[in-house]
Amino acid sequence: MSDHTMTLNRGTRPRRRRTGRRTGRRAAALATAVTAAVTLAACSSSGSSSTPSASGSGSTASYFKGKTITLISPDSPGGSYDSYARLFAPYVAQELGATINVEDIAGAGTLQGTNQMAAATPNGLTIGMVNVGGDIASKVEKQPGENFNMSTFSWIGQPAVIPNALVTQPGSSVQSFSAMLHPAGTVTVLDIRNGIGDMLNRVIYGAFGVPYKLDTGFEATSALKQGFLAKDGQTILEAMSTLYPLISGNEAKPLLVVGSVTLPSYQKVLTGVPTLQTEMSSAGLSGGKAAAVTEALALSDLSDDFAAPPGLPAAELSALQQAFAKAAALPALKAQATKESLPLSFVGGSTLGGQVSTALANSNSIAQYVND
């Protein structure tokens, strides 16, 4: 462990915090196997050219007709994985003529759900969302519990590149990122171990030389938000799809933006907030520090990805890729995404697979900060 970081395990946390996390896990369990099902018959009568029919996904889609697909969200409700899984499920079901059940499986960051997806029979009937950036960081760190080889996954696509934000509470002693570079004391950071925020916290605070204390005693996004609102720590770093309600409701103050912001609702609440790129330039980071921050930024762009187990036959994978891409183009899905303030800029499975390969090849640049 480095001299600027202290990781607290759950055993050291006060009773109030432990109760919050148990509540998060109960919420995840209660959400298990919630169904978002729409059959082909529900929308096949539409003649609009902007509403594709199941046959539009190719003849292989008939393999899925009448079958039930489990879509694993590797987090509890309230996070971006669950939100995107439920956004896509009914429209992909429409394309395939299938039923899709969304199942939230939280634990060990997102590893428990991804482990279950990876171990499933590669027949297209169990798919999931993958925290690529966080899982790559865990691999670099040699964290136990990652029981899969990400390079072998069958990549379906990515709903959007989701920006992340570093936030604090209004009235906190930490009121700007630049002030954190010359702190009066140690910054207390709340964190989900093995998550994308965990990797970003370690790299950003480490590369910028900010003294921090990391509390990783949270297993799900819902519990992390509870701890933040209870002021158990000063900052959290999470996806904007998770933080937007807190920021727009004046329950969180953004200090730093990680990634590109294209959604107007996000742009409105993030006006004037510095980006990771501008702060990296202002601080004059170079060499290994700059390489680590640049790679962390690239990894942060690779979260919330749809995938199937290794070995899925090409025909079934193609049908899933086409169904997800066609669903992403539907006006109804786009309208729902806008209503929920979810970015949408679908990336196809082949492109995503290449991005994952590149990220894996460059991942060792973050090792000095995540290996503590």
pLDDT value of residue 2: 41
- Does residue 56 sit in the same domain as residue 156? yes
Side-by-side strand order, sheet with 34-35:
34-35, 99-104, 68-73, 126-130, 305-308, 154-158, 347-348
| pLDDT value of residue 54 | 39
Residues 228 and 196 in one domain: yes
C-alpha–C-alpha distance, residues 95 and 43, integer Å: 9
Does residue 133 belong to any structural domain of this protein?
yes
Number of domains present in the structure of the chain? 2
Last residue of a domain, one of 247, 275, 299: 299
Q: Which two tokens stand for residue 363?
A: 């991942």
Confidence (pLDDT) at 55 = 41
Residues 187, 105: one domain? Answer: no
Q: For the segment 47-102, what is each residue's pLDDT rounded down to a tens digit? A: 322 223 434 444 556 899 999 999 999 988 877 889 999 999 999 999 999 999 99
For residues 63 and 130, membership in a common domain is answered with: yes
Among 231, 236, 150, smallest CA distance to 192 is for 236
Do 288 and 322 sit in the same domain of this protein? no
* Domain stop point among 248, 276, 299: 299
Asked whether residue 1 is assigned to any structural domain, the reply reads: no
Residues 182 and 76 in one domain: no
- Asked if residue 2 is part of any domain, the answer here is no
Residues 29 and 155 in one domain: yes
Model pLDDT for residues 110-124, shown as the tens digit of each residue: 888 999 999 999 999
Determine the pLDDT at residue 9.
Answer: 39
Domain extent at residue 239: 7-20+163-299
- Asked if residue 153 is part of any domain, the answer here is yes
- Cα–Cα distance for residue pair 326/51, rounded to 1 Å: 9
Tell me the CATH number at 67: 3.40.190.150
- Order of strands across the sheet that contains 7-8: 7-8, 212-218, 187-192, 235-239, 164-168, 253-258
Quick one: which of 307, 345, 321, 357 has its CA closest to 85?
Answer: 307
Spans of the chain below 50 pLDDT: 1-58
Question: Are both 288 and 345 inside the same structural domain?
Answer: no
In Å, how far are 87, 98, 104, 195, 235 from 81, measured between CA atoms?
10, 21, 9, 12, 21
Q: Tokens 């630049």 identify what position? A: 178
Residue 259: CATH number of its domain: 3.40.190.10
Are 179 and 289 part of one and the same domain? Answer: yes
- Same-domain check for residues 294 and 252: yes
CB 145 within 8 A of CB 114: no
Same domain, 211 and 121: no
With 0-12 CB in 10 A as exposed, 13-18 as middle and 19+ as buried, what is 314?
Answer: exposed
Within-domain flag for 313: yes
The pLDDT value recorded for residue 58 is: 47
Residue 341 inside a domain? The answer is: yes
* Residue 173 shares a structural domain with residue 258: yes
Answer yes or no: is 14 within a domain.
yes
Q: Which of 299, 327, 354 is the last residue of a domain?
A: 299
Amino acid 82 reads D
